[in-house]
Structure 1
Amino acid sequence: MKHVELVNGNLRFPALMAGDGEPVLLLHGFPDCHLNWVHQLEALAGAGYCAVAPAMRGYAPGCLAPDGDYSLRAAVEDVCAFANQLGGAVHLVGHDWGAAVGYLAAARSPELFLSLSTLAVPPLKRLPQAVLRVPEQLLLSAYMDFFQLPLVPEWVLRRNDLAGVEWLWQRWSPDWDGGDYLANAQRVLAEPGALSGALNWYRHLPRFWTAAHREARSWMARPIAVPTLVMLGRKDGCMSPRLLDHAVQARDFPVGLQVEQISGAGHFLHLERPQRINELLLAHLAQTAVQTAG
């Protein structure tokens, strides 16, 4: 495994890379970091892929947005730039915010992606309506309203060596100890500017009047024309698995959709059940290769 750098314009994104072969791009979420894809990096490299896990926009000094743009459009543009840097035909894997960006990137530029695999976030197209039909999700998502406040969320999360980040991990993945993975996330988010950069993703969500928001919404409305695997933990304390009942429509994925609920896992399912996630991920990538060859 080696440290590399991906770029988009003047932004520099540190990344971990392992293996040789078809590229697989792994996108992390909040409050997490690119270092915690280690199980998947090793499994993908062992199966003959080149796996690359970059820091997302705002999570490292070199990729703090100088213009303050932490919109989903900007994140999608980052990922499409990464895909082009890796050869323009990559498998895309995303967790949490990385999953949201993955859905949008695959809808915007399906020619760049061989497959899409998402963790912990249902398909976006019908998610707003699904939330209205799953009342507990409004409570689970209350933290997003809190994150709209200036400065206060940073102060709350940063207290006592980022104990607030630990609280979120415990709530979202109950009955599981984050251990070194949590420590990795806390160390990354303690870097200058990183916590505000990460929270600014949430602060851009309600900016409905912007061109960036309108463009992201237009991508969300499109079908996703790459083979897609959706995985959710049955014990997820951030995104209710019941959302799948209302957010999943096969016709939104015209070239194939597989949905898996992972027993004994919460929000950080790739860390809680890495062997099961790796099995599903490798099978999905192999099936994509068969479909492409056919």
Structure 2
Amino acid sequence: MAPTQHIVKLHSGSREFSTLSNYSQEDIFVNENKKWTRIVFLIHGFPDINSSFDASWDTILNILPGTLLLAPTLRGYEPSSQGNLKDYKLSQLADDVRSWILEVSPEGTIPVHLVGHDWGAGVSFKTAHTYPELLASISTLAFPYLTNIKPWEMLWYCPLQMYYSSYIFTMQFAFLYKKKLTDKSKNSYINKLWKFWSPTWKFSEDDIEEVKETFQKPGVPDSATAYYRCMDLKELAWPVDFDKVPTLILGGDSDGCMTKSVYELEARKLKNVPNVKVQLLSKLGHFLHRQDPVKVAEIFSDWILKHDV
């Protein structure tokens, strides 16, 4: 945990989510004098956890003083938020975000911004599509817009993506993913995945240890991979009205999970669309916010500041 962090609890129905925050539970839910003028949610991806943005914490708060910063644990990454393994659709995850927003800002008078990495980015797109009235902006990391790309365009312009996405097959079957995700060795599947997805990042065992520990918890391997098993064409549709929700799309040009050609295609398709920006960062991989936490935080914090209405 960063020095300015507290652990608070957010809820969605009967599910409870452990959340890192710069304010305490009492400050958020009991004290009447609120000290913030905006709310920023930091939403992690796979295989990762909500401390993913810890190294960016101070940078964000320096650029955005007066912010309530919240980094929730996504559905299924702890026993208190688990449930039926069919209940991990993007629409249901977006409902979690809606519940979190309404829990901390029931009157809806404070601007709310989402910053999502990987699956957190997909959740951010889906939330912006479904509940645009709740959001001032979103910033997505390592997961491009996609919903505007036709299958033939992906095959023609981004053929390497088929290979990059082949890991999704592993997530369909417990006999494949469970042993891999619970391996704690230095040569584990998670180590290899991080290295392949962020080949220019020399991460340490300390960087990855907490993630490995999370996948030792009961139900987490099944729940975290259920996201992939709950995907369908309807769930993968998230057209965003960028006039209502200004959107920043950040990627690394060395990403081994999402090829840079997808971002380049998105940049061409969205170049004349107002209120959306696609930006590729040099020599950064899939975990770009971990690899260069200050630079990445500066970019999405500036986007938030620009669209803080």
Superposition TM-score, scaled by structure 1 size: 0.89
Cα distance in 1, alignment partners of residues 88 and 53 from structure 2 = 22
Q: Which moved more, 1:101-110 or 1:180-189?
A: 180-189
Instruction: Give 1:250 shift.
Output: 3.0
Report the identity percentage.
30
CA-atom RMSD in angstroms:
2.0
Secondary structure of 2:307's partner? helix
Does the C-alpha gap of structure 1 residues 43 and 228 become closer, same or farther in structure 2, counting only changes over 3 Å?
A: same
Partner of 1:36: 52
Instruction: Give 1:119 shift.
Output: 0.2
Instruction: Give 1:9 shift.
Output: 0.4
Partner of 1:164: 189
Partner of 2:178: 154
Q: Which has the higher helix share?
A: 1
Are 1:187 and 2:191 an aligned pair?
no
Is residue 18–residue 45 contact of structure 1 (8 Å, CA) maintained in 2?
Answer: no
Render the CA deviation track for 1:114-154: whole Å, top value 9, x for unaligned.
11100001113224534323111000110002211233211
Are 1:284 and 2:303 an aligned pair?
yes
Render the CA deviation track for 1:93-114: whole Å, top value 9, x for unaligned.
0000000110111011111111
Partner of 1:178: 203
Partner of 2:282: 263
Instruction: Give 1:165 shift.
Output: 0.8
Of 72, 77, 82, 1:59 maps to: 77
Is residue 57–residue 75 contact of structure 1 (8 Å, CA) maintained in 2?
Answer: yes
Partner of 1:131: 154
Does the C-alpha gap of structure 1 residues 280 and 267 become closer, same or farther in structure 2, counting only changes over 3 Å?
A: same
Of 7, 10, 13, 1:9 maps to: 13
Instruction: Give 1:189 shift.
Output: 1.6
Within 5 Å, give how 1:67-146 maps onto structure 2: 68-87=86-105, 88=108, 89-127=111-149, 129=151, 130-132=153-155, 133-146=157-170
Structure 2 gap ranges (5+): 24-34
Partner of 1:239: 258
Superposition TM-score, scaled by structure 2 size: 0.85
Q: Which moved more, 1:229-238 or 1:82-91?
A: 82-91
Does the C-alpha gap of structure 1 residues 222 and 272 become closer, same or farther in structure 2, counting only changes over 3 Å?
A: closer
Structure 1 gap ranges (5+): none
Does the C-alpha gap of structure 1 residues 251 and 23 become closer, same or farther in structure 2, counting only changes over 3 Å?
A: same
Secondary structure of 1:141's partner? helix
Aligned length: 281
Q: Which amino acid aligns with 2:143?
A: V
Instruction: Give 1:244 shift.
Output: 1.6
Secondary structure of 1:220's partner? coil
Q: Which moved more, 1:270-279 or 1:8-17?
A: 270-279
Q: Which amino acid aligns with 2:46?
A: F
Cα distance in 1, alignment partners of residues 172 and 60 from structure 2 = 37
Does the C-alpha gap of structure 1 residues 67 and 145 become closer, same or farther in structure 2, counting only changes over 3 Å?
A: closer
Instruction: Give 1:252 shift.
Output: 9.3
